[in-house]
């Protein structure tokens, strides 16, 4: 018979009072078995009393460590999508690299799905992306960027979206992976 040990992680508020825990404060925790299985409960030290030991499988003290703040996405999907649509409408050949990188970024964010790759008579690869939400198809020429070219394109995208361009050592991964894997950059890391 297998035992399911799917325990919840430490809470962020006191089970008794609902007050949020402060970083560095001592908290008391207990493990009980309820109708749904094992349940972890966390309490402010001031809210803890010996009666809570009753029926507990385990009791312990610890120091609450607040989780790090969530990092904002460096480029929100809707901003990247809006920029992509705007650049496609301009039909300006100078935006070819930016359009390609934006399409790959949206694919990595699971907003686009690559459906096919066609090769025109002139040898240019055309990647066909389908928008998951709308079903629209985007035909994006693949400029076959070199890894060394991606950083400048990323900087251009950040600037076009009104963001701060990432530092150069953050922009390009150390290993030479495919260009598509190098496009998702988080300047906050």
Encode pLDDT of 113-172 as tens digits: 998 888 888 998 989 898 888 888 888 999 988 888 888 888 888 777 776 555 544 443
Q: How confident is the model at residue 11 (pLDDT cuts 50, 70, 90)?
A: confident
Q: Are strands 112-119 and 137-142 parallel, antiparallel or unpaired?
A: unpaired
Give the start-end residues of each E strand in 46-110: 58-63
Could you tell me the two tokens for 26?
């001592």
pTM over 0.85: no
Distance CA 133, CA 8 (A): 33
């Amino acid at each position: 018979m297998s035992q399911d040990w799917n325990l919840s992680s430490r809470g962020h508020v006191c089970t008794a009072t609902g007050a949020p825990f402060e970083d560095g404060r001592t908290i008391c925790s207990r493990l009980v078995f309820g109708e749904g299985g094992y349940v972890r409960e966390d309490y402010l030290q001031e809210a803890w009393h010996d009666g809570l030991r009753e029926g507990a499988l385990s009791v312990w003290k610890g120091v609450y460590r607040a989780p790090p703040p969530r990092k904002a996405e460096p480029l929100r999907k809707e901003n990247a999508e809006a920029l992509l649509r705007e650049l496609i409408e301009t039909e300006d050949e100078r935006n070819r690299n930016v359009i390609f990188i934006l399409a790959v970024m949206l694919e990595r964010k699971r907003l686009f799905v690559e459906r096919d790759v066609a090769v025109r008579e002139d040898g240019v690869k055309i990647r066909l992306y389908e928008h998951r939400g709308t079903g629209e198809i985007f035909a994006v020429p693949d400029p076959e960027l070199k890894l060394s070219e991606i950083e400048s394109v990323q900087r251009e995208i950040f600037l076009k979206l009104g963001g701060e361009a990432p530092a150069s050592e953050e922009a390009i991964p150390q290993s030479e992976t495919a260009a598509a894997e190098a496009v998702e950059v988080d300047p906050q890391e």
